[in-house]
C-alpha cells in the first residue's frame, strides 16, 4: 500500500462570496482511490464562519476526486460541508440545493483578472494602458505581458491532468483579463470542476506572487467586467424543445429575474449596465446571437427547431456555480413540458 496525500477542498461560510479552504489527509491505498473509498473528515467550523466555538464540529463529505500531479500520490477531493451528524447538509452547502438531473448539461465561462502589485498584469504603475481593442485573444508582449500566458498555460495543464473538462482558454477584452471554459454533463459536474479549477489557479499563483481577482468589475470606467456566462440545456431542451416551449421558458426566466440576479454574484450592478456586452441589471431580454441580452440564443438553437442550449450572460465571475445551476434548474422545472 502507498500513502496518499488527499487534499480535501470545501467552501467556507463567508458571504456573499464563499472562500475555498483545504487541508491534507494522509490515507493508505493500493492505488488511486475511488470516491466511495474516501472517508468523511471533520474540521473546525468556528474558524470558517460555519459554526460557533462552543459547538464547532463540521463534516466534509467527498463528492468528487481528481489526480493532483503536483504531489506524489496526490489527490484533490471536492467536498460538501455537512452538519456533525454527517447526513444533514450545512446551511452553507449550496451544492446540496441542486436538483439531481443526469440530463442537465452546463458550460461555465469563467473570466478573471490576474493582479500584480494591486493592479492587473500589464497596467502601468500610474494611469492606464491603451484602450480595449487588441487584448481579446491577443498575442504579443504589449497585449498579454510577460508572465500571464505562462500562468494560464500551466493552469490549463494542471486541470487537464486532473481530468477537469476544460473546453478552452483565451485572453479577454480587458488587459490582464483571461477566461477558461468548463463543460460537464450532470447537474453538478461542471460546478464541481469550476470550483476545483479556481482552487488550482489560486494555488498555482502563490508561487508567482500573483493574485487572482474574481470581482466582476475590479477596474471602473470603460473596461469590460468579468462574467461567468452559463450555457445550459436539459434532455427536453435538446431532444424536444420547440418555439412554444422556448417562449414559455423565457417567460419563466423573466418572472424569476430577481431570484436569478440574487444568486448571480455580488456587485453585479457594476457590471450589468447595458454596456460592455451586457444587459442592464433591471431588465430581461433575449436575442439571437445578441451579446447585449440577458439570454443569448445561438443560431444553432433556432436552426435546429428551437432545440439545444441557451446562454445566460448575467452570472458574474464571483458567482457560486452551485447556486447558479440550482436557480437555473429550478426555473426550468417550473415550465410544463406537456
| Residue 166 CB-density burial (10 A; 0-12 exposed, 13-18 middle, 19+ buried) | middle
The x, y and z cell numbers of residue 19, run together, are 472562500
Which pLDDT score, from 0 to 100, does residue 338 have? 73
pLDDT at 99: 95
Nearest to 237 by CA among 100, 337, 109: 337
Q: Where are the alpha helices (DSSP H) in 133-177?
A: 141-144, 148-162
Number of other residues whose CB lies within 10 A of the CB of residue 41: 18
Work out the average pLDDT over 106-130. 95
Is residue 114 within 8 A of residue 201, CB to CB? The reply is: no
Confidence (pLDDT) at 146: 83
Mean pLDDT in residue range 280-288: 96
Helices (H) then strands (E): counts for the chain: 9, 14
pLDDT surpassing 90 at residue 294: yes
Q: Name, in order, each residue with C-beta under 8 angstroms of 203's C-beta and a sequence gap of 6 or more.
A: none
Nearest to 221 by CA among 276, 165, 295, 298: 276
Q: Is 4 in contact with 75 (CB distance < 8 Å)?
A: yes
Q: Which residues of 321-337 are buried (b: 16+ CB within 10 A; e: fewer)?
A: bbbbbbbbbbbbeeeee
Find the helix or strand (DSSP H, E) in which 123 lies: none
- pLDDT tens figures, 142-156: 999 889 999 999 999
Over residues 39-52, mean pLDDT: 97
The pLDDT assigned to 145 comes to 83
Digit-coded pLDDT (tens) for 269-278: 999 999 988 9
- The mean pLDDT value of the chain amounts to 97
Q: Are 307 and 301 in contact (CB under 8 A)?
A: yes
Coil, helix or strand at residue 70:
coil
Residue 306 CB contacts under 8 Å (≥ 6 apart), including other chains: 241, 242, 243, 245, 246
pLDDT at 38: 98
Q: Give me 176's grid cell.
A: 490582464
Tens-place pLDDT, residues 23-35: 999 999 999 999 9
pLDDT of residue 304: 97
Q: Is 112 helix (H, G, I), strand (E, B) or coil?
A: strand
Structure letter (DSSP) for residue 227: B
Average pLDDT over residues 32-50: 97
Residue 53, pLDDT above cutoff 90: no
Under the banding of pLDDT at 50, 70 and 90, the label for residue 244 is very high
Q: Average the pLDDT over 149-176 and give the result.
A: 97
Percent of all residues in the chain with a pLDDT value above 90, rounded to a whole number: 96
Q: What is the pTM of this model?
A: 0.97
What structural domains does the chain harbor?
Answer: 2-93 (3.10.20.70), 105-333 (3.30.590.10)
Q: 118-127, 158-167, 243-252, 301-310: lowest mean pLDDT where?
A: 118-127
Amino acid at each position: 500500500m502507498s500513502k496518499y496525500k488527499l487534499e480535501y477542498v470545501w467552501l467556507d461560510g463567508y458571504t456573499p462570496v464563499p472562500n475555498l479552504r483545504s487541508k491534507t489527509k494522509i490515507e493508505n491505498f493500493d492505488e488511486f482511490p475511488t470516491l466511495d473509498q474516501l472517508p468523511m473528515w471533520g474540521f473546525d467550523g468556528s474558524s470558517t464562519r460555519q459554526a460557533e466555538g462552543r459547538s464547532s464540529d463540521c463534516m466534509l463529505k467527498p463528492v468528487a476526486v481528481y489526480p493532483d500531479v503536483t504531489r506524489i500520490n496526490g489527490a484533490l477531493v471536492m467536498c460538501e460541508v455537512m452538519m456533525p451528524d454527517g447526513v444533514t447538509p450545512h446551511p452553507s452547502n449550496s451544492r446540496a440545493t441542486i436538483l439531481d438531473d443526469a440530463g442537465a448539461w452546463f458550460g461555465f465561462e469563467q473570466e478573471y483578472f490576474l493582479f500584480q502589485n494591486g493592479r492587473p498584469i500589464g497596467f502601468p504603475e500610474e494611469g492606464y494602458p491603451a484602450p480595449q481593442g487588441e487584448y481579446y485573444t491577443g498575442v504579443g508582449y504589449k497585449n498579454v505581458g510577460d508572465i500571464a500566458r505562462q500562468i494560464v498555460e500551466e493552469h490549463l495543464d494542471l486541470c487537464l491532468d486532473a481530468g477537469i473538462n476544460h473546453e478552452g482558454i483565451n485572453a479577454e477584452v480587458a488587459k490582464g483579463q483571461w477566461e477558461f471554459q468548463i463543460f460537464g454533463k450532470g447537474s453538478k459536474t461542471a460546478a464541481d470542476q469550476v470550483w476545483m479549477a479556481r482552487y488550482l489557479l489560486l494555488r498555482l499563483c502563490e508561487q508567482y506572487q500573483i493574485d487572482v481577482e474574481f470581482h466582476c468589475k475590479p477596474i471602473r470606467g470603460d473596461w469590460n467586467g468579468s462574467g461567468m456566462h452559463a450555457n445550459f440545456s436539459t434532455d427536453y431542451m435538446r431532444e424536444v424543445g420547440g418555439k412554444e416551449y422556448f417562449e414559455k421558458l423565457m417567460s419563466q426566466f423573466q418572472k424569476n429575474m430577481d431570484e436569478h440576479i440574487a444568486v448571480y454574484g455580488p456587485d453585479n450592478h457594476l457590471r450589468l449596465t447595458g454596456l460592455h456586452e451586457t444587459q442592464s441589471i433591471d431588465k430581461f431580454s433575449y436575442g439571437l446571437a445578441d451579446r447585449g441580452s440577458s439570454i443569448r440564443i445561438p443560431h444553432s438553437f433556432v436552426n435546429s427547431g428551437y432545440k439545444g442550449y441557451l446562454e445566460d450572460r448575467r452570472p458574474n465571475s464571483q458567482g457560486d456555480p452551485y447556486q447558479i445551476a440550482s436557480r437555473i434548474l429550478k426555473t426550468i422545472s417550473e415550465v410544463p413540458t406537456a
